[in-house]
Structures are given as structure tokens and as C-alpha cells.
């Protein structure tokens, strides 16, 4: 596979997204933030969690032909074992992450999507790309975000409403009726969306953290098809620069209310076949 990617930290100081690839595998994770002033029970932090889990998953995907969900469950257990002696893993705010795993075997392209990062698959002979994303967190969050969305981004009131929102959502994390992310419970892997398809049926794939997919699914400044076109013609860094331009144009969140004014943004693009030549 030919993989290009870009990842850009948002407010910083650490990029909690993670992306990495080999010639046959790509992983993208988006660490779920611990807002300033919130406790997590972990001295390592969200960036450590997403980068460590992502590195372990990429290694296991290249060394094992095992089922992706099983590799994810094992990876979650391995990361827990790295800090269960020093950190409180039962804390409801312990670090967590979304996960996308994409692997090419001899016959097929296999994927796993856990939580709200977006996998786009441009399937041969279809018009719109498939967008694979588990939006259960957004569904739960919609019940609780009105107060935060009514406040101007960048203000102390907004920051404390965001902190309250994140802490309320913690009580829905990794339980039935809530939403599922990689954290400390390996059973979360069973909740991931998985699938496979003959590789020759896929023209291209894209992996997006929600800081990058917001160009489409929050700002409505492009369709999924247009996002793929941007990635193909201009590359992942260009897509992220368009996200940043939109964020800068709305610093107070008046046009697009959002928890994070700026977010870590990551995009990976994997073209498998030449694109059809446009007929004029």
C-alpha cells in the first residue's frame, strides 16, 4: 500500500492523535482528552495511552494474522499491564482512545472501527464513499451538550461547561446503552465495527480523526467525496489546513458550536487503484 498521512496538534501541548503505517497496515487513534482541571487516575496521560496502544496494535497487525478485534482486545490488556501498578485503572476518567485498524492481506482489505473516528472506503462502482463510524458517543452527547454549545468558545464558562460535559459522558463509557472506546476493558473490542472486502473492490481508503472529519461532519464544508478528492489531489496536510482555516474563521464557536475550538487533526490516505479519468 502507498500511505500518506499528516497529523497536527490542536491546542497542545501534546498531540493525542496517533497514526502509523507499514506497507500492509495502518492504525489511527484519537485519544479522548482529559480537560484541564479533570482528574484521570493516570500519571501517563492521554497521548501516552493512544501512542502506546497504537504502536502495539501496529506491531501485532504485522506479526499476526489474527482477527483484528482480538488483536485490539489483547492490545488493550497489554497497555493496562504497563500501568496497572502505578495508576488507578478503575478511575472513570482513565485515558481512552478511538481506534481504526486497516490491514491488507493477500485477498482482502480488513478493517475495524471503534468509536468516532471515520474510515472512508471508496468502493468501485459506487457513487458516494462508505463512511464507517460509530456515532453512539455523539448520540449520548446530544442529550447533554446544549449548555456548552450555547456559550462562546474560548471563555472560562465554556471551558467549565466542556469539563462538565466530558465528566457526564464518562458515566456512559463502555457500558450498554452508552458508547464504547478503547480504555481498560478489552470487551470494548467486541463493540467495534468490523468488515472486509476484496482489495480490488476498493479504489481508496481514508482514515480521519474527528478533528479532521469535522470539515465534513460538523462544518459541512465538503462532502465525503470531496474530502477524498482533496486527499487524493492535495494530500492529508491540505485537508487539515482547510479544517484549521474554518476553525480560525469561527473562533468563538458561533457558526459551529463545538467542544474543542481547535482539535488535534489526523488524516491518512491510501490509494489502491488509479482514479477514473473524468469525462468532459
Instruction: Please report, as ranges, the residues that interact with Zn ion according to CB under 5 A.
Output: 42, 44, 83, 87
Contact 257, 226 (CB under 8 A): no
| Shorter beta-carbon distance to Zn ion: residue 49 or 269 | 49
**Ramachandran assignment for 45, one of left (phi > 0), alpha (psi -120 to 50 degrees), beta (any other):** left
| Shorter beta-carbon distance to Zn ion: residue 52 or 266 | 52
Q: 129 vs 46, 160, 204, 209, CA distance in Å?
A: 31, 38, 9, 17
Q: Report the nearest approach of Zn ion to the CB of residue 66 (Å).
A: 26
| Shorter beta-carbon distance to Zn ion: residue 97 or 132 | 97
**Ramachandran assignment for 177, one of left (phi > 0), alpha (psi -120 to 50 degrees), beta (any other):** left
Q: Report the nearest approach of Zn ion to the CB of residue 203 (Å).
A: 41
Q: Report the nearest approach of Zn ion to the CB of residue 44 (Å).
A: 4
Q: Report the nearest approach of Zn ion to the CB of residue 200 (Å).
A: 43
- CB-based burial, 212-225: b 16+ in 10 Å, e otherwise: bbbbbbbbebbebe
| Shorter beta-carbon distance to Zn ion: residue 42 or 183 | 42
**Ramachandran assignment for 77, one of left (phi > 0), alpha (psi -120 to 50 degrees), beta (any other):** alpha
Query: Which of 177, 182, 191 has the alpha carbon at shortest distance from 94?
Result: 182
Q: Report the nearest approach of Zn ion to the CB of residue 170 (Å).
A: 16
Q: Report the nearest approach of Zn ion to the CB of residue 36 (Å).
A: 18
| Shorter beta-carbon distance to Zn ion: residue 44 or 225 | 44
Q: Report the nearest approach of Zn ion to the CB of residue 96 (Å).
A: 12
Contact 27, 20 (CB under 8 A): yes
| Shorter beta-carbon distance to Zn ion: residue 45 or 235 | 45
| Shorter beta-carbon distance to Zn ion: residue 184 or 213 | 184
HSE of 74, CA atoms in CB hemisphere, 13 A: 14
Contact 203, 271 (CB under 8 A): yes
Task: Kindly provide the residue ranges of all beta strands, DSSP E only, lying in 83-237, ordered along the sequence.
Answer: 96-104, 108-114, 118-123, 130-132, 193-198, 202-208
Longest pairwise C-alpha distance within the chain? 64
Amino acid at each position: 500500500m502507498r500511505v500518506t498521512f499528516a497529523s497536527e496538534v490542536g491546542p497542545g501541548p501534546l498531540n493525542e492523535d496517533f497514526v502509523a503505517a507499514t506497507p500492509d497496515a495502518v492504525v489511527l487513534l484519537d485519544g479522548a482528552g482529559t480537560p484541564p482541571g479533570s482528574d484521570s487516575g493516570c500519571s501517563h496521560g492521554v497521548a501516552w495511552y493512544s501512542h502506546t496502544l497504537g504502536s502495539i496494535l501496529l506491531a501485532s497487525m504485522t506479526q499476526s494474522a489474527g482477527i483484528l478485534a482480538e488483536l485490539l482486545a489483547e492490545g488493550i490488556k497489554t497497555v493496562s499491564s504497563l500501568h496497572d501498578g502505578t495508576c488507578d485503572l478503575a478511575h472513570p476518567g482513565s485515558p481512552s482512545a478511538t481506534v481504526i485498524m486497516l490491514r491488507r492481506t493477500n485477498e482482502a482489505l480488513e478493517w475495524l472501527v471503534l468509536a468516532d473516528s471515520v474510515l472512508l472506503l471508496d468502493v468501485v462502482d459506487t457513487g458516494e464513499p462508505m463512511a464507517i463510524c460509530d456515532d453512539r458517543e455523539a448520540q449520548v452527547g446530544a442529550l447533554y451538550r446544549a449548555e456548552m454549545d450555547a456559550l462562546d468558545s474560548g471563555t472560562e464558562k465554556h471551558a467549565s461547561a466542556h469539563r462538565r460535559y466530558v465528566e457526564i459522558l464518562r458515566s456512559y463509557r463502555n457500558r450498554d446503552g452508552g458508547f464504547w472506546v478503547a480504555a481498560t476493558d478489552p470487551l470494548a473490542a467486541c463493540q467495534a465495527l468490523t468488515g472486509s472486502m476484496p482489495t480490488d473492490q476498493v479504489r481508496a481508503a481514508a482514515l480521519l480523526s474527528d478533528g479532521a472529519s469535522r470539515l465534513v461532519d460538523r462544518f459541512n464544508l465538503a462532502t465525503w467525496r470531496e474530502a477524498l478528492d482533496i486527499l487524493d489531489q492535495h494530500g492529508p496536510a491540505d485537508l487539515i489546513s482547510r479544517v484549521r482555516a474554518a476553525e480560525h474563521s469561527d473562533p468563538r464557536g458561533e457558526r459551529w458550536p463545538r467542544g474543542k475550538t481547535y482539535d488535534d487533526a489526523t488524516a491518512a490516505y491510501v490509494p489502491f487503484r488509479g482514479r477514473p479519468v473524468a469525462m468532459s
